[in-house]
Protein backbone atom coordinates (compact mmCIF):
# COMPACT_ATOMS: atom_id res chain seq x y z
CA UNK A 1 0.00 0.00 0.00
CA UNK A 2 1.19 3.52 -0.77
CA UNK A 3 -0.06 6.39 1.36
CA UNK A 4 -0.81 9.35 -0.85
CA UNK A 5 1.87 11.95 -0.27
CA UNK A 6 0.46 15.18 -1.65
CA UNK A 7 0.87 18.36 0.37
CA UNK A 8 -2.04 18.72 2.76
CA UNK A 9 -2.38 14.99 3.37
CA UNK A 10 -4.47 14.40 6.45
CA UNK A 11 -2.74 13.23 9.60
CA UNK A 12 -5.60 10.79 9.95
CA UNK A 13 -4.29 8.72 7.03
CA UNK A 14 -0.96 8.20 8.75
CA UNK A 15 -2.61 7.49 12.08
CA UNK A 16 -4.84 4.87 10.49
CA UNK A 17 -1.96 2.90 8.96
CA UNK A 18 0.01 3.24 12.21
CA UNK A 19 -2.94 1.83 14.11
CA UNK A 20 -3.16 -1.15 11.75
CA UNK A 21 0.56 -1.81 12.00
CA UNK A 22 0.47 -1.70 15.79
CA UNK A 23 -2.38 -4.20 15.78
CA UNK A 24 -0.45 -6.42 13.37
CA UNK A 25 2.63 -6.27 15.57
CA UNK A 26 0.61 -7.07 18.69
CA UNK A 27 -0.71 -10.19 16.98
CA UNK A 28 2.76 -11.69 17.44
CA UNK A 29 3.17 -12.85 13.84
CA UNK A 30 6.38 -10.88 13.27
CA UNK A 31 8.04 -12.51 16.27
CA UNK A 32 8.13 -15.86 14.49
CA UNK A 33 11.48 -16.34 12.66
CA UNK A 34 9.66 -18.42 10.03
CA UNK A 35 7.40 -15.45 9.24
CA UNK A 36 10.39 -13.14 8.93
CA UNK A 37 12.15 -15.53 6.57
CA UNK A 38 9.00 -15.84 4.50
CA UNK A 39 8.71 -12.06 4.20
CA UNK A 40 12.37 -11.66 3.26
CA UNK A 41 11.96 -14.29 0.54
CA UNK A 42 8.84 -12.45 -0.63
CA UNK A 43 10.82 -9.22 -0.79
CA UNK A 44 13.48 -10.99 -2.83
CA UNK A 45 10.91 -12.28 -5.31
CA UNK A 46 9.32 -8.84 -5.53
CA UNK A 47 12.65 -7.18 -6.27
CA UNK A 48 13.33 -9.75 -8.97
CA UNK A 49 9.90 -9.22 -10.55
CA UNK A 50 10.19 -5.43 -10.48
CA UNK A 51 13.88 -5.19 -11.38
CA UNK A 52 13.24 -3.69 -14.82
CA UNK A 53 10.94 -0.98 -13.45
CA UNK A 54 13.40 -0.09 -10.68
CA UNK A 55 16.33 0.10 -13.10
CA UNK A 56 14.35 2.29 -15.51
CA UNK A 57 13.24 4.57 -12.67
CA UNK A 58 16.82 5.01 -11.46
CA UNK A 59 17.82 6.02 -14.97
CA UNK A 60 14.96 8.51 -15.24
CA UNK A 61 15.76 10.12 -11.89
CA UNK A 62 19.55 10.12 -11.97
CA UNK A 63 20.67 8.87 -15.35
CA UNK A 64 22.23 5.87 -13.65
CA UNK A 65 24.09 3.54 -15.98
CA UNK A 66 22.69 -0.02 -15.83
CA UNK A 67 25.93 -1.32 -14.29
CA UNK A 68 25.77 1.16 -11.40
CA UNK A 69 22.01 0.78 -10.99
CA UNK A 70 22.34 -2.96 -10.59
CA UNK A 71 25.62 -3.27 -8.69
CA UNK A 72 24.98 -0.49 -6.16
CA UNK A 73 21.18 -0.67 -5.91
CA UNK A 74 19.26 -3.77 -7.03
CA UNK A 75 22.13 -6.26 -6.80
CA UNK A 76 23.26 -4.81 -3.48
CA UNK A 77 19.81 -5.28 -1.96
CA UNK A 78 19.55 -8.84 -3.27
CA UNK A 79 22.91 -9.68 -1.74
CA UNK A 80 21.84 -8.22 1.62
CA UNK A 81 18.66 -10.30 1.43
CA UNK A 82 20.61 -13.49 0.76
CA UNK A 83 22.93 -12.76 3.68
CA UNK A 84 20.05 -12.08 6.08
CA UNK A 85 18.20 -15.26 5.05
CA UNK A 86 21.36 -17.31 5.51
CA UNK A 87 22.00 -16.07 9.05
CA UNK A 88 18.53 -15.18 10.38
CA UNK A 89 18.02 -18.32 12.48
CA UNK A 90 21.30 -17.70 14.27
CA UNK A 91 20.60 -14.03 14.82
CA UNK A 92 17.17 -14.59 16.36
CA UNK A 93 18.31 -17.17 18.90
CA UNK A 94 18.78 -16.12 22.50
CA UNK A 95 22.51 -15.97 23.23
CA UNK A 96 23.68 -17.51 26.47
CA UNK A 97 26.30 -15.59 28.43
CA UNK A 98 28.20 -16.41 31.61
CA UNK A 99 26.46 -15.94 34.96
CA UNK A 100 28.41 -14.66 37.99
CA UNK A 101 28.57 -16.97 40.98
CA UNK A 102 26.70 -14.39 43.04
CA UNK A 103 23.65 -15.42 40.94
CA UNK A 104 24.24 -19.18 41.33
CA UNK A 105 22.29 -21.22 40.49
CA UNK A 106 21.07 -19.32 37.45
CA UNK A 107 21.52 -18.74 33.74
CA UNK A 108 21.84 -15.54 31.71
CA UNK A 109 20.74 -14.80 28.16
CA UNK A 110 20.58 -11.93 25.69
CA UNK A 111 17.26 -12.12 23.90
CA UNK A 112 16.77 -10.03 20.73
CA UNK A 113 13.27 -8.64 20.41
CA UNK A 114 11.73 -6.28 17.82
CA UNK A 115 10.95 -2.69 18.71
CA UNK A 116 7.53 -2.58 17.03
CA UNK A 117 6.73 -0.14 14.22
CA UNK A 118 9.68 1.53 12.49
CA UNK A 119 9.79 4.60 10.28
CA UNK A 120 12.49 4.46 7.59
CA UNK A 121 13.20 7.70 5.71
CA UNK A 122 15.36 7.32 2.61
CA UNK A 123 17.42 9.75 0.49
CA UNK A 124 17.44 10.44 -3.25
CA UNK A 125 20.99 9.58 -4.31
CA UNK A 126 20.68 5.80 -3.90
CA UNK A 127 16.92 5.77 -3.42
CA UNK A 128 16.38 2.03 -3.74
CA UNK A 129 19.37 0.66 -1.84
CA UNK A 130 19.19 3.15 1.03
CA UNK A 131 15.50 2.48 1.68
CA UNK A 132 15.36 -1.26 1.12
CA UNK A 133 18.63 -2.16 2.84
CA UNK A 134 17.44 -0.90 6.25
CA UNK A 135 14.03 -2.46 5.50
CA UNK A 136 15.77 -5.85 5.36
CA UNK A 137 17.08 -5.25 8.88
CA UNK A 138 13.66 -4.15 10.12
CA UNK A 139 11.95 -7.27 8.73
CA UNK A 140 14.69 -9.60 9.94
CA UNK A 141 14.36 -8.17 13.44
CA UNK A 142 10.56 -8.63 13.42
CA UNK A 143 9.29 -5.07 13.02
CA UNK A 144 6.53 -3.53 10.96
CA UNK A 145 7.61 -0.53 8.91
CA UNK A 146 6.47 2.58 7.10
CA UNK A 147 8.84 3.67 4.33
CA UNK A 148 9.22 7.31 3.29
CA UNK A 149 11.10 7.55 -0.04
CA UNK A 150 12.58 10.82 -1.22
CA UNK A 151 10.36 12.91 -3.46
CA UNK A 152 13.51 14.20 -5.18
CA UNK A 153 13.69 10.85 -7.01
CA UNK A 154 9.98 10.62 -7.97
CA UNK A 155 10.18 7.79 -10.51
CA UNK A 156 12.01 5.50 -8.09
CA UNK A 157 9.66 6.50 -5.27
CA UNK A 158 6.66 5.48 -7.38
CA UNK A 159 8.31 2.22 -8.44
CA UNK A 160 9.09 1.27 -4.85
CA UNK A 161 5.58 2.14 -3.74
CA UNK A 162 4.19 -0.07 -6.50
CA UNK A 163 6.49 -2.95 -5.51
CA UNK A 164 5.52 -2.82 -1.84
CA UNK A 165 1.84 -2.25 -2.59
CA UNK A 166 1.67 -5.26 -4.91
CA UNK A 167 3.28 -7.76 -2.55
CA UNK A 168 2.89 -6.73 1.11
CA UNK A 169 0.06 -6.32 3.56
CA UNK A 170 0.03 -2.59 4.43
CA UNK A 171 -0.56 -3.57 8.04
CA UNK A 172 2.98 -4.95 7.88
CA UNK A 173 4.86 -2.77 5.35
CA UNK A 174 3.56 0.47 3.79
CA UNK A 175 5.02 3.31 1.73
CA UNK A 176 4.24 6.97 2.40
CA UNK A 177 5.10 8.99 -0.70
CA UNK A 178 5.26 12.75 -0.54
CA UNK A 179 7.32 15.85 0.08
CA UNK A 180 8.81 17.38 3.22
CA UNK A 181 5.32 18.00 4.58
CA UNK A 182 4.63 14.27 4.50
CA UNK A 183 7.84 13.65 6.42
CA UNK A 184 6.85 16.28 8.96
CA UNK A 185 3.46 14.68 9.50
CA UNK A 186 5.06 11.28 9.93
CA UNK A 187 7.53 12.62 12.49
CA UNK A 188 4.70 14.05 14.58
CA UNK A 189 3.62 10.49 15.34
CA UNK A 190 5.22 8.18 17.86
CA UNK A 191 7.16 5.31 16.31
CA UNK A 192 9.13 2.62 18.08
CA UNK A 193 12.23 3.18 15.95
CA UNK A 194 13.40 5.83 13.47
CA UNK A 195 15.95 5.24 10.71
CA UNK A 196 16.98 8.26 8.66
CA UNK A 197 19.45 8.61 5.80
CA UNK A 198 20.16 12.09 4.49
CA UNK A 199 21.81 15.38 5.34
CA UNK A 200 22.81 16.65 8.77
CA UNK A 201 20.33 19.55 8.75
CA UNK A 202 17.31 17.25 8.35
CA UNK A 203 18.98 14.72 10.63
CA UNK A 204 18.78 17.25 13.44
CA UNK A 205 15.05 17.67 12.81
CA UNK A 206 14.57 13.89 12.92
CA UNK A 207 16.54 13.66 16.15
CA UNK A 208 14.42 16.40 17.73
CA UNK A 209 11.28 14.51 16.72
CA UNK A 210 12.67 11.31 18.22
CA UNK A 211 13.54 13.13 21.44
CA UNK A 212 9.92 14.22 21.91
CA UNK A 213 8.91 10.57 22.24
CA UNK A 214 12.26 9.20 23.52
CA UNK A 215 12.37 7.06 20.37
CA UNK A 216 15.63 5.22 19.58
CA UNK A 217 17.04 6.06 16.18
CA UNK A 218 19.79 5.66 13.62
CA UNK A 219 21.08 8.62 11.63
CA UNK A 220 23.06 7.95 8.46
CA UNK A 221 24.35 11.35 7.45
CA UNK A 222 27.41 12.47 5.50
CA UNK A 223 30.17 15.03 5.58
CA UNK A 224 33.34 16.07 3.84
CA UNK A 225 35.26 12.85 3.36
CA UNK A 226 39.02 13.46 3.07
CA UNK A 227 41.19 11.45 0.71
CA UNK A 228 44.91 11.54 1.55
CA UNK A 229 47.65 10.53 -0.86
CA UNK A 230 51.18 10.01 0.46
CA UNK A 231 54.23 10.38 -1.78
CA UNK A 232 54.98 6.63 -1.73
CA UNK A 233 51.58 5.59 -3.15
CA UNK A 234 51.51 4.04 -6.67
CA UNK A 235 49.94 7.09 -8.28
CA UNK A 236 48.39 5.56 -11.41
CA UNK A 237 46.52 2.87 -9.45
CA UNK A 238 45.64 5.41 -6.75
CA UNK A 239 44.16 7.76 -9.36
CA UNK A 240 41.94 5.00 -10.78
CA UNK A 241 40.57 4.13 -7.35
CA UNK A 242 39.91 7.77 -6.44
CA UNK A 243 38.29 8.65 -9.78
CA UNK A 244 36.04 5.58 -9.53
CA UNK A 245 34.93 6.37 -5.97
CA UNK A 246 34.47 10.08 -6.64
CA UNK A 247 32.66 10.11 -9.97
CA UNK A 248 30.28 7.14 -9.77
CA UNK A 249 26.70 8.39 -9.73
CA UNK A 250 28.17 11.77 -10.76
CA UNK A 251 29.62 12.16 -7.27
CA UNK A 252 26.22 11.93 -5.58
CA UNK A 253 27.42 9.45 -2.97
CA UNK A 254 27.62 10.05 0.78
CA UNK A 255 30.98 8.27 1.01
CA UNK A 256 32.54 9.80 -2.12
CA UNK A 257 35.93 11.41 -1.57
CA UNK A 258 34.99 15.04 -0.99
CA UNK A 259 38.44 16.59 -1.30
CA UNK A 260 41.95 15.39 -2.01
CA UNK A 261 45.00 16.06 0.18
CA UNK A 262 48.10 15.16 -1.83
CA UNK A 263 51.71 15.28 -0.74
CA UNK A 264 53.28 18.38 -2.30
CA UNK A 265 55.98 16.41 -4.07
CA UNK A 266 53.52 14.36 -6.14
CA UNK A 267 50.60 16.76 -6.58
CA UNK A 268 51.20 17.65 -10.24
CA UNK A 269 51.73 14.07 -11.37
CA UNK A 270 48.66 13.03 -9.36
CA UNK A 271 46.54 15.54 -11.29
CA UNK A 272 47.86 14.09 -14.55
CA UNK A 273 46.98 10.53 -13.51
CA UNK A 274 43.51 11.58 -12.33
CA UNK A 275 42.86 13.32 -15.64
CA UNK A 276 43.99 10.24 -17.53
CA UNK A 277 41.77 7.98 -15.41
CA UNK A 278 38.72 10.17 -16.07
CA UNK A 279 39.37 10.10 -19.82
CA UNK A 280 39.75 6.33 -19.73
CA UNK A 281 36.50 5.88 -17.79
CA UNK A 282 34.26 8.36 -19.62
CA UNK A 283 36.06 9.31 -22.85
CA UNK A 284 37.06 12.76 -24.07
CA UNK A 285 33.44 13.89 -23.91
CA UNK A 286 31.72 12.46 -20.79
CA UNK A 287 28.45 14.03 -21.93
CA UNK A 288 28.19 11.21 -24.47
CA UNK A 289 29.33 8.46 -22.10
CA UNK A 290 26.71 5.80 -21.34
CA UNK A 291 28.51 5.15 -18.05
CA UNK A 292 28.15 8.58 -16.45
CA UNK A 293 25.13 9.68 -14.42
CA UNK A 294 23.36 13.04 -14.20
CA UNK A 295 22.63 15.52 -11.42
CA UNK A 296 19.30 14.72 -9.82
CA UNK A 297 17.49 18.04 -10.41
CA UNK A 298 17.92 21.67 -11.40
CA UNK A 299 18.33 22.91 -7.82
CA UNK A 300 21.36 20.69 -7.22
CA UNK A 301 22.69 21.40 -10.72
CA UNK A 302 22.69 25.15 -10.03
CA UNK A 303 24.29 24.68 -6.61
CA UNK A 304 27.11 22.58 -8.05
CA UNK A 305 27.58 24.87 -11.05
CA UNK A 306 28.18 27.77 -8.67
CA UNK A 307 30.93 25.79 -6.92
CA UNK A 308 32.81 25.54 -10.22
CA UNK A 309 33.68 29.20 -9.74
CA UNK A 310 35.94 28.33 -6.79
CA UNK A 311 39.66 28.07 -7.42
CA UNK A 312 41.00 27.03 -10.83
CA UNK A 313 39.61 24.28 -13.05
CA UNK A 314 42.41 21.81 -13.73
CA UNK A 315 40.27 19.36 -15.67
CA UNK A 316 36.64 19.17 -16.80
CA UNK A 317 34.32 21.96 -15.74
CA UNK A 318 31.88 21.75 -18.65
CA UNK A 319 28.13 21.68 -18.01
CA UNK A 320 24.90 21.11 -19.93
CA UNK A 321 21.84 22.52 -18.15
CA UNK A 322 19.41 20.76 -20.51
CA UNK A 323 20.54 17.30 -19.36
CA UNK A 324 21.75 18.36 -15.89
CA UNK A 325 25.28 17.27 -16.85
CA UNK A 326 28.38 18.39 -14.99
CA UNK A 327 31.64 16.87 -16.19
CA UNK A 328 34.05 15.16 -13.78
CA UNK A 329 36.01 18.16 -12.56
CA UNK A 330 39.32 18.68 -10.77
CA UNK A 331 39.77 21.98 -8.93
CA UNK A 332 43.07 23.51 -7.89
CA UNK A 333 43.95 26.71 -6.10
CA UNK A 334 41.15 26.36 -3.56
CA UNK A 335 41.38 27.56 0.03
CA UNK A 336 39.65 26.31 3.15
CA UNK A 337 37.51 29.44 3.14
CA UNK A 338 36.02 28.76 -0.30
CA UNK A 339 32.40 27.61 -0.53
CA UNK A 340 33.50 24.32 -2.09
CA UNK A 341 35.39 23.53 1.12
CA UNK A 342 32.63 24.66 3.49
CA UNK A 343 29.90 22.21 2.53
CA UNK A 344 29.58 18.62 1.43
CA UNK A 345 29.92 18.77 -2.36
CA UNK A 346 27.77 15.77 -3.29
CA UNK A 347 28.66 16.10 -6.95
CA UNK A 348 31.44 15.48 -9.50
CA UNK A 349 33.82 18.21 -8.29
CA UNK A 350 37.09 17.24 -6.61
CA UNK A 351 39.13 20.01 -4.94
CA UNK A 352 42.84 19.18 -4.68
CA UNK A 353 45.02 20.59 -1.92
CA UNK A 354 48.62 19.83 -1.02
CA UNK A 355 50.47 19.15 2.22
CA UNK A 356 54.08 18.63 3.26
CA UNK A 357 53.83 16.56 6.44
CA UNK A 358 51.27 14.00 7.57
CA UNK A 359 51.33 15.50 11.06
CA UNK A 360 49.70 18.67 9.76
CA UNK A 361 47.00 16.60 8.05
CA UNK A 362 46.19 14.66 11.23
CA UNK A 363 46.10 17.91 13.22
CA UNK A 364 43.86 19.54 10.61
CA UNK A 365 41.38 16.65 10.57
CA UNK A 366 41.15 16.62 14.36
CA UNK A 367 39.77 20.17 14.23
CA UNK A 368 37.07 19.42 11.67
CA UNK A 369 33.74 17.57 11.98
CA UNK A 370 34.20 13.81 11.86
CA UNK A 371 33.55 12.52 8.33
CA UNK A 372 31.55 9.47 7.28
CA UNK A 373 34.57 8.03 5.48
CA UNK A 374 38.30 8.63 5.24
CA UNK A 375 40.61 7.34 2.52
CA UNK A 376 44.38 6.96 2.82
CA UNK A 377 46.80 5.86 0.12
CA UNK A 378 50.27 4.73 1.18
CA UNK A 379 52.37 1.56 1.24
CA UNK A 380 53.85 2.50 4.61
CA UNK A 381 52.25 0.31 7.32
CA UNK A 382 53.36 2.64 10.10
CA UNK A 383 51.62 5.60 8.45
CA UNK A 384 48.53 3.48 7.83
CA UNK A 385 48.38 2.64 11.54
CA UNK A 386 48.76 6.30 12.45
CA UNK A 387 45.79 7.25 10.30
CA UNK A 388 43.67 4.44 11.75
CA UNK A 389 44.57 5.31 15.36
CA UNK A 390 44.88 9.09 15.26
CA UNK A 391 41.89 10.11 13.14
CA UNK A 392 38.16 9.59 13.70
CA UNK A 393 35.62 8.79 11.00
CA UNK A 394 32.70 6.48 10.37
CA UNK A 395 34.93 4.14 8.38
CA UNK A 396 38.34 4.00 6.70
CA UNK A 397 39.63 2.50 3.48
CA UNK A 398 43.36 2.01 3.14
CA UNK A 399 44.43 2.11 -0.52
CA UNK A 400 40.82 1.99 -1.72
CA UNK A 401 37.66 4.10 -1.82
CA UNK A 402 34.00 3.30 -1.09
CA UNK A 403 34.46 -0.50 -1.04
CA UNK A 404 34.11 -0.86 2.73
CA UNK A 405 30.37 -0.63 2.08
CA UNK A 406 30.38 -3.94 0.25
CA UNK A 407 31.16 -6.21 3.20
CA UNK A 408 28.20 -7.41 5.24
CA UNK A 409 30.69 -8.07 8.04
CA UNK A 410 31.62 -4.39 8.40
CA UNK A 411 29.01 -2.22 10.17
CA UNK A 412 28.42 0.98 8.21
CA UNK A 413 27.67 4.24 9.97
CA UNK A 414 28.97 7.63 10.95
CA UNK A 415 30.31 9.27 14.07
CA UNK A 416 29.65 12.74 15.44
CA UNK A 417 28.11 14.94 12.75
CA UNK A 418 28.34 12.15 10.16
CA UNK A 419 25.84 9.91 11.91
CA UNK A 420 24.65 7.82 14.81
CA UNK A 421 24.42 4.03 14.78
CA UNK A 422 25.32 1.51 12.08
CA UNK A 423 23.85 -1.16 9.82
CA UNK A 424 24.60 -3.72 7.05
CA UNK A 425 24.62 -7.48 7.62
CA UNK A 426 24.10 -8.51 11.23
CA UNK A 427 24.47 -4.88 12.30
CA UNK A 428 21.15 -4.17 10.53
CA UNK A 429 19.43 -6.87 12.58
CA UNK A 430 21.02 -5.54 15.77
CA UNK A 431 20.04 -1.96 14.96
CA UNK A 432 16.35 -2.85 14.70
CA UNK A 433 16.41 -5.14 17.77
CA UNK A 434 16.29 -4.44 21.47
CA UNK A 435 18.82 -6.74 23.13
CA UNK A 436 16.88 -7.77 26.21
CA UNK A 437 18.81 -9.12 29.20
CA UNK A 438 17.31 -12.21 30.82
CA UNK A 439 18.30 -13.86 34.12
CA UNK A 440 16.59 -17.16 34.94
CA UNK A 441 16.75 -18.61 38.47
CA UNK A 442 14.90 -21.10 40.61
CA UNK A 443 13.48 -20.50 44.07
CA UNK A 444 16.13 -22.40 46.00
CA UNK A 445 18.64 -21.83 47.43
CA UNK A 446 17.56 -18.35 48.47
CA UNK A 447 20.40 -16.72 50.41
CA UNK A 448 19.03 -14.75 53.37
CA UNK A 449 22.00 -12.36 53.57
CA UNK A 450 20.66 -10.18 50.72
CA UNK A 451 17.50 -9.35 52.66
CA UNK A 452 17.07 -6.86 55.53
CA UNK A 453 17.76 -6.67 58.38
CA UNK A 454 21.38 -6.67 57.24
CA UNK A 455 23.04 -6.75 60.67
CA UNK A 456 26.49 -8.21 60.11
CA UNK A 457 26.07 -9.14 56.43
CA UNK A 458 28.18 -6.23 55.05
CA UNK A 459 31.52 -7.96 55.48
CA UNK A 460 30.25 -11.16 53.93
CA UNK A 461 28.72 -9.38 50.96
CA UNK A 462 32.03 -7.53 50.36
CA UNK A 463 33.79 -10.88 50.16
CA UNK A 464 31.17 -12.47 47.94
CA UNK A 465 31.13 -9.56 45.51
CA UNK A 466 34.92 -9.45 45.36
CA UNK A 467 35.53 -13.13 44.68
CA UNK A 468 32.32 -14.48 43.15
CA UNK A 469 31.18 -11.82 40.66
pLDDT band at 448 (very low <50, low <70, confident <90, very high): confident
Top-confidence residue, 323 or 7: 323
Q: Is pLDDT above 70 for 259?
A: yes
d(CA 215, CA 209): 8
- So what's the pLDDT on residue 1? 46
From 4-18, 106-120, 269-283, the region with the lowest mean pLDDT: 4-18
- So what's the pLDDT on residue 141? 98
Average pLDDT for the chain: 95
Q: What is the pLDDT of residues 395-432, one digit of tens each?
A: 999 999 999 999 999 999 999 999 999 999 999 999 99
Q: Is pLDDT above 90 for 453?
A: no
Q: Is pLDDT above 70 for 281?
A: yes
Q: Is pLDDT above 50 for 355?
A: yes
Q: Is pLDDT above 50 for 230?
A: yes
- So what's the pLDDT on residue 469? 64
- So what's the pLDDT on residue 468? 67
CA neighbours closer than 13 Å in the CB half-sphere of residue 331: 28
Q: Is pLDDT above 60 for 7?
A: no
Q: Is pLDDT above 50 for 117?
A: yes
Rounded mean pLDDT, 150-154:
97
- So what's the pLDDT on residue 249? 98
- Looking at the annotation, which residues are catalytic? 220, 254
Q: Is pLDDT above 60 for 169?
A: yes
- So what's the pLDDT on residue 6? 44
Identify whether the C-beta of residue 376 lies closer than 8 Å to the C-beta of residue 396. yes
Residue 19's H or E segment, with its range, is helix 11-26
pLDDT > 70: percent of the chain: 97
Q: Is pLDDT above 90 for 3?
A: no
DSSP H helical segments within 168-255, as ranges?
Answer: 180-188, 200-213, 235-247
Q: Is pLDDT above 90 for 354?
A: yes
Rounded mean pLDDT, 206-221:
97
Q: State the pTM of this model.
A: 0.95
Q: Which domains does the chain have, with CATH numbers?
A: 2-221+421-433 (3.40.605.10), 226-413 (3.40.309.10)
Q: Pairing state of beta strands 117-121 and 193-197?
A: parallel
Rounded mean pLDDT, 205-223:
97
Q: Is pLDDT above 60 for 195?
A: yes
- So what's the pLDDT on residue 186? 97
Identify whether the C-beta of residue 455 lies closer than 8 Å to the C-beta of residue 447. no
- So what's the pLDDT on residue 172? 98
Q: What is the pLDDT of residues 119-148, one digit of tens each?
A: 999 999 999 999 999 999 999 999 999 999
Strand ranges for 115-198 from DSSP E: 117-121, 144-148, 173-176, 193-197
d(CA 362, CA 231): 16
Amino acid sequence: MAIEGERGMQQQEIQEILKKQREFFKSGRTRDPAFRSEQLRLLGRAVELHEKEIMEALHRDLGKPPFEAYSAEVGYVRRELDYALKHLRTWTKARKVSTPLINFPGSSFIFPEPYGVALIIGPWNYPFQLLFSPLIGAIAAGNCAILKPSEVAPATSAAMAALIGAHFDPSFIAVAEGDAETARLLLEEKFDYLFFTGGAAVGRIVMQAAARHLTPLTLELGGKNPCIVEKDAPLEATARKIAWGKFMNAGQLCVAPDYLLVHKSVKDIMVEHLSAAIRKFYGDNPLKSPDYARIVNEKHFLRLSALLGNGKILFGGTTDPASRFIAPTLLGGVSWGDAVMQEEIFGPILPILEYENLNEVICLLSEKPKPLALYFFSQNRALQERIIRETSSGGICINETVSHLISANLPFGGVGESGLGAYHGQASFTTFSHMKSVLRKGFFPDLPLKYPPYRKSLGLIRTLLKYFS
